C-alpha cells in the first residue's frame, strides 16, 4: 500500500509527517516507522510524527524516534507539526494541541513557529552537569572544544551510563559565547547519534544556563548545528514558566512511498 508523506525540518532536525486524521496508519508497527525514517532504505528522518484529530483541541501530536518507538516530547517536531497543520488547513496562525507531555500553545508567522513548552520546576545542579526535564530528559554540561569534540562517543557514554542506564537521557554539550548566546551540540536518545538540532535540548540548555547563573537574560540565543533557535521564559519562585521555543519550521517536500 502507498503512504503519502510530507517532509519538514526545523534547524536541520528533520521529520516525516503523516496526516493520520483517518487513523489508517499502523501505530504499533515499529519496524515500519523505523523503515520510513531510515536514510538509506526509506525516506530518512530523525523522527516520524502523526497529526491526528482531537475532540476539543486543534489536533493531536504522536511522535516516534527514528528507532521506531513512540517517544517523549520533541520541540522541533512540535514546531514542524504546527507548520504542517497550517499546510493542511487545520489551523491558520495559532494552535492548541495535545502531545505526550500535555497541552501546547503555538503561533506561526511565515516560517517562524513559537511553541510554548512545559513549565519546569526542578533543575538538578550537579558538580559537572545539570539535569532537567523539558518534555524529554536532558543532561547539560560544558565543553570548551565543542567544534572538534566527539559527540557520538561521549554522548553515548553518558546516555547509557549511571545514573541514566536503561532509561537514558539526551545529552547536550554547551559552550558560552556571550551572556545571552550559547553554542549547543546534542546527542539524542532514540536517534542514538548527534542531531543537527534538538528543541527540548535547546530549551533545557537555556534554562540550565540561567539556573546556574551563566546568564541573567530571559531571551537566550542557541546556536545549533542546523541554525539558530531562541528560548524565552519567566521565572517565578524558582519555577520556569511561560517558556517558548522559537525558530524556523520549513516544508521540504511531499511524496509517496
Catalytic residues: 74, 198
Contact 131, 212 (CB under 8 A): no
Rounded Cα distance between 33 and 66, Å, is 7
**Alpha carbon 177 to chain centroid, angstroms:** 22
Rounded Cα distance between 237 and 232, Å, is 17
Q: Which helix (H) or strand (E) holds 205?
A: helix 199-211
Contact 14, 29 (CB under 8 A): no
Torsion, CA 131, CA 133, CA 136, CA 140, rounded to 10 = -30
Helices 199-211 and 75-88 cross at an angle (nearest 10°) of 130
96 has which bridge partners?
A: 105
Amino acid at each position: 500500500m502507498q503512504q503519502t508523506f510530507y517532509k519538514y525540518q526545523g534547524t536541520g532536525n528533520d521529520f516525516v509527517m503523516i496526516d493520520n486524521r483517518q487513523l489508517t496508519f499502523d501505530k504499533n508497527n515499529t519496524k515500519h516507522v523505523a523503515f520510513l525514517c531510515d536514510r538509506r532504505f526509506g525516506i530518512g528522518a530523525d523522527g516520524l510524527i502523526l497529526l491526528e484529530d482531537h475532540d476539543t483541541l486543534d489536533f493531536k501530536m504522536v511522535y516516534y524516534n527514528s528507532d521506531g518507538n513512540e517517544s517523549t516530547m520533541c520541540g522541533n517536531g512540535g514546531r514542524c507539526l504546527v507548520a504542517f497543520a497550517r499546510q493542511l488547513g487545520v489551523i491558520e496562525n495559532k494552535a492548541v494541541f495535545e502531545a505526550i507531555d500535555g497541552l501546547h500553545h503555538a503561533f506561526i508567522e511565515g516560517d517562524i513557529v513559537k511553541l510554548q513548552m512545559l513549565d519546569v520546576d526542578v533543575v538538578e545542579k550537579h558538580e559537572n552537569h545539570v539535569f532537567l526535564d523539558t518534555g524529554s530528559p536532558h543532561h547539560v554540561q560544558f565543553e570548551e572544544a565543542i567544534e572538534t569534540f566527539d559527540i557520538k562517543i561521549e554522548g553515548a557514554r553518558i546516555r547509557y551510563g549511571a545514573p541514566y542506564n536503561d532509561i537514558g537521557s539526551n545529552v547536550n554539550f554547551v559552550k558560552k559565547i556571550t551572556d545571552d548566546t550559547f553554542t549547543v551540540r546534542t546527542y539524542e536518545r532514540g536517534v542514538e547519534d548527534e542531531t543537527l538540532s534538538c528543541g527540548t535540548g535547546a530549551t533545557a540548555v537555556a534554562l540550565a544556563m540561567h539556573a546556574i547563573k551563566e546568564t541573567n537574560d530571559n531571551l537566550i540565543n542557541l546556536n545549533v548545528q542546523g541554525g539558530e533557535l531562541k528560548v524565552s521564559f519567566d521565572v517565578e519562585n524558582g519555577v520556569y514558566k511561560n517558556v517558548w521555543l522559537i525558530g524556523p519550521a520549513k516544508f521540504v517536500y511531499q511524496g509517496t512511498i
